[in-house]
């Protein structure tokens, strides 16, 4: 290549550079302002705790123990403790257990004392109740075949509560006659007593009138 061709090529490059427009300074500043600001992403360790806290605030659901510990670690702003060895962790766990056992013993002793105090108080004395008066019935002996037992018919009459008609009824009961004193047709008085057999709940008091 001759020197004239070189000179022509350099002149053409200089002319092209002069004709190319330069971007204005104002356009460059606008482009810089339009760029979105960089969003700082949370650290990977803080991200689960922040998500758990937001979920707890929104949904109101309780967090598990592991998530709660992560949340407490993320909120901790003090100095971090030095790394502990497995033996030190076992020792700390044993100390915590001893402290909890001591508090349990104290609580149980206080509970036993309170129970003893309640037991020493005397219960109120029972109120003496008067024994009720036993019922008495008067009837006619209709059977004395069984030993020490009589069958008594109790006759009763009363006016009907609506129509006023006299209604007569009778009831049969078994009474205990220890000496076989009553016989058929006798008018007797019986009194209620404790159960003496499967059917006897009454006892003979006296014979009012003998049968003729």
pLDDT digits (tens, 9 = 90+) for 45-88: 445 555 555 555 555 667 788 888 888 888 877 777 788 899 99
pLDDT at 166 over 60: yes
* Interacting residues of 23 by C-beta distance below 8 A, sequence separation 6+: none
Confidence at residue 31, expressed as pLDDT on a 0 to 100 scale = 47
Alpha helices in the chain (DSSP H): 3-19, 25-34, 46-59, 65-75, 86-120
Domains of the chain: 136-209 (2.40.50.140)
Number of H helices, E strands in the chain: 5, 5
| Average pLDDT score over residue span 167-196 | 96
* Minimum mean pLDDT range among 37-41, 122-126, 187-191: 37-41
- Planar angle of CA 76, 84, 86, nearest 5 degrees: 130
Q: How far apart are CA 93 and CA 102, in angstroms?
A: 14
pLDDT per position as a tens digit, 7-54? 677 766 766 555 555 545 554 554 445 554 544 554 544 455 555 555
């Amino acid at each position: 290549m001759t020197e004239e061709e070189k000179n022509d090529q350099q002149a053409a490059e200089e002319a092209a550079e002069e004709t190319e427009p330069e971007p204005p300074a104002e356009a460059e500043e606008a482009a810089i302002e339009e760029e979105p600001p960089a969003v700082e992403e949370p650290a990977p360790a803080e991200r689960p705790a922040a998500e758990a806290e937001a979920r707890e605030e929104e949904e109101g659901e309780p967090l598990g123990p592991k998530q709660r510990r992560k949340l407490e670690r993320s909120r901790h702003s003090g100095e971090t403790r030095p790394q502990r060895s497995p033996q030190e962790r076992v020792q700390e766990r044993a100390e915590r257990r001893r402290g909890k056992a001591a508090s349990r013993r104290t609580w149980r002793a206080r509970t036993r004392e309170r129970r003893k105090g309640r037991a020493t108080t005397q219960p109120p004395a029972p109120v003496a109740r008067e024994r009720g008066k036993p019922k008495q019935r008067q009837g006619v002996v209709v059977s004395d075949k069984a030993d020490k037992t009589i069958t008594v018919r109790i006759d009763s009459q009363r006016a009907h509560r609506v129509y006023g008609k006299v209604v007569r009824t009778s009831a049969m009961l078994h009474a205990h006659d220890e000496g076989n004193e009553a016989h058929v047709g006798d008018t007797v008085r019986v009194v209620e007593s404790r159960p003496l057999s499967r059917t006897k709940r009454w006892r003979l008091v006296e014979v009012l009138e003998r049968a003729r």
